[in-house]
Amino acid sequence: MMKIVVFHGSPRKGNTYLATKIFMDELSKYGDAEIAEFFLPKDLPDFCIGCQLCLGGMREKCPNTRHVTPIFDAIINADALVFATPHYGACSMPASMKNLFDHMDFLMLNVSPREEIFNKKAFIITTGAGSTATIKPINKTLKHWGINRVYSLGLRMYTNKWDKMRATRQTKYEKSLRKSAQKFYYAKKKPPYLSTIFFYRISKFILKRFVGEGNHPYELWKEKGYFKKRPF
């Protein structure tokens, strides 16, 4: 049984939703899948207010905990995460998707490394009229969480509606989605990314040099032995 959490970055059930449906349909063919879906912004309607309580180790005190906690629990308990989002302008993702990453920033491994995160795989699906650049910041964020493997597929539509794409392109994209879903389903845990190891080392240096004893997350790292041995 694979537990999968899907985050839909746009409330419009358009191109990205359709692409994600094809992907999830294929994924479900390879074995039992327990799927939880979050629709943004409906399931996380309030913006992060920047109070930094979560970054100080008090995640439960987030003023939006009513929405954040079910999402956090779903992430922690999942085997695989799917982030489905259209590409929006220079900032690259809809505010609703960015709001999810703002609220989950405490998952960054320099703040509070969590063993549960290091075994997970993630998939980013994005559609754009011509750009798929939103993959890059999401990919980087997930690697900084310590997600073991991050896969992605970006679809350039050259139109605003799936049905308006040439039939050959529709077929090609459906095939890519199904192939990616199969690959994702069978993807096994691999050694950590070099960039994740590098981020861990930099974090360790910064915590020792600039944060120090008695402060969060230095004490958490110390208590869990992360200064001596990397947790992934």
Ligand X SMILES: Cc1cc2nc3c(=O)[nH]c(=O)nc-3n(C[C@H](O)[C@H](O)[C@H](O)COP(=O)(O)O)c2cc1C
Q: Where does this chain bind ligand X (CB under 6 A)?
A: 10, 12, 14-17, 86-89, 127-131, 157, 160
- Least Å distance, CB 136 to ligand X, is 13
Radius of gyration of the chain (CA): 18
- Least Å distance, CB 172 to ligand X, is 16
- Least Å distance, CB 128 to ligand X, is 3
- Least Å distance, CB 174 to ligand X, is 15
CA atoms within 13 A on the CB side of 152: 21
Long-range contacts at 207-215 (CB < 8 A, ≥ 24 apart): 207/110
The amino acid occupying position 231 is P
- Least Å distance, CB 222 to ligand X, is 44
Q: Residues 120, 80: contact at Cβ < 8 Å?
A: yes
Taking CB atoms, the residue at the shortest distance from ligand X is 14
Phi, psi (degrees; rounded to nearest 5) at 29: -75, -20
**CB nearer ligand X, residue 94 or residue 113:** 94
Q: Residues 232, 148: contact at Cβ < 8 Å?
A: yes
**CB nearer ligand X, residue 17 or residue 226:** 17
- Least Å distance, CB 158 to ligand X, is 9
**CB nearer ligand X, residue 127 or residue 152:** 127
**CB nearer ligand X, residue 89 or residue 212:** 89
**CB nearer ligand X, residue 114 or residue 156:** 156
Phi, psi (degrees; rounded to nearest 5) at 120: -90, 155
Phi, psi (degrees; rounded to nearest 5) at 93: -140, 155
Phi, psi (degrees; rounded to nearest 5) at 81: -120, 140
What CA dihedral angle connects 202, 220, 104 and 181, to 10 degrees? Answer: 70
